[in-house]
Amino acid sequence: MAGPWDASLLPMPVFLLFACFANFAFLWKSMMRLKSSPHSVFSRALVGQAVGELCWVLPCFVQCFITLANGEEGDWFQGYLAGQGGRSTGCNVMGFYSMFSLIAGMGTTVVMAWLSSTPAEKLPSVRTITWSLVAMIPVALFYGMVPLVGIGAYKFSSPICYFDWYDPAHAVLILLWTLPMLVLGCGFLLRAALKRPILFLHLTVFVLGWGLWPPAALIGLSGADMPNYFMIVGGVLGHGQALVNPLLYGIIWNSQYTEEVQHKVIDMADGKAPSDEEIGANANAVAGG
């Protein structure tokens, strides 16, 4: 096991430090947009997306830095005692925020995909989006608490602690969340990407980031051996979202879905702005005159 301040433990905290900066910048940008447009469904969803990513990036950075300082024999290292069948404090902590972020990160991305695919005149209300985001908190807490209340236990599958894929309750719970979210998210993003091709990037990252979870759960339920490096690939793809999502949503999505269209729809509903039909009729009248 690596000792305190071992160079082999350095890459992960460094990566997560950059990820924290990127996601805090994303959160700040989203908060500034919310401040300028407090009644916007776009701005509220962006804040939710930024918070959903920080749910694991920040605690994972803190935990990895503690491990760097204390070494892998410390109780905060997620793999400590795993060889003897035990679980460290670090494993339970990592498992909790990892499962919490499964709900928060995946759920907020699906909300973003929903808004991306919805015509401006059919956008859901601010209350609907707000409650959709808030409702994820108790669901995320439930998932995170399941092993801590004695329903199975978090398991170290290098390099992370997560649900035990071979525990039927854990595997079924993962399927119950990830399958419908993948179907909804892919459907929404595909529909949006057909109108804005840049969003094929978002669709690709969404599938790569979460697509391995249902197969892993099905492998666990079947009792078959997990393929070599399956969890490492899943971990790399999942962790990669920490740097990619601030770019995809904080910059690209933010520039594609501005407030102007939404404000126009609201003004039309309030009778403050002419509709497209009225604008066309006025233009025709001017041309005819």
Confidence of residue 275 (pLDDT cuts 50, 70, 90): very low
- 285 or 37, which is more confident: 37
pLDDT bucket at 261, cuts 50 / 70 / 90? low
Domain boundaries 7-284, corresponding CATH code: 1.20.1070.10
The pLDDT assigned to 268 comes to 42
Is the pLDDT at 286 greater than 50, yes or no?
Answer: no
- The pLDDT mean for the chain works out to 87
Q: What percent of the chain has pLDDT over 70?
A: 88
Q: How confident is the model at residue 125 (pLDDT cuts 50, 70, 90)?
A: very high
Report, as an integer, the average pLDDT of 266-280: 43
CA dihedral 36, 42, 48, 49 (to 10 degrees): -120
Spatial CA neighbour of 201 closest among 247, 167, 153, 154: 247
Per-residue burial over 260-278, b if 16 or more Cβ lie within 10 Å, else e, is: eebbbbbebeeeeeeeeee
Could you check whether the bond before residue 159 is cis, i.e. omega within 30 degrees of 0?
Answer: yes
The rounded distance, in Å, linking the Cα atoms of 97 and 102 is 8
Tokens in use for 4? Answer: 């305190």
C-alpha 53/C-alpha 243 separation (Å) is 10
Radius of gyration of the chain (CA): 22
Mean pLDDT within 227-240: 79
Query: Considering only CA atoms, which of 258, 274, 273, 271 is closest in space to residue 40?
Result: 258
- Is pLDDT above 90 for 289? no
State percent of the chain over pLDDT 90: 69
Full 3-state SS string of 219-236: HHHHCCCCCCCHHHHHHH
Q: Which residue has the tokens 């669901």?
A: 139
Residue-wise pLDDT tens digits, 2-44: 888 889 999 999 999 999 999 999 999 999 999 999 999 999 9
Residue 2: is it exposed, middle or buried by C-beta count within 10 angstroms (0-12/13-18/19+)?
middle
Collect all residues with Cβ–Cβ distance below 8 Å to 126 and sequence separation of at least 6. Answer: 39, 40, 41, 44
- Interior/surface letters 64-81, b for 16+ CB within 10 angstroms, e for the rest: bbbbbebbbebebbbbbe
Q: Give the Cβ contact number of residue 12 at 10 Å.
A: 18
- How sure is the predictor about 165, in pLDDT bands with cuts at 50, 70 and 90? very high
Question: Which pLDDT value is given to residue 143?
Answer: 97
CB contact set of 217 (below 8 Å; sequence gap of 6+): 165, 170, 171, 172, 174, 175, 178
pLDDT value of position 267: 45
Q: What is the pLDDT of residues 41-74, one digit of tens each?
A: 999 999 999 999 999 999 999 999 999 999 888 7
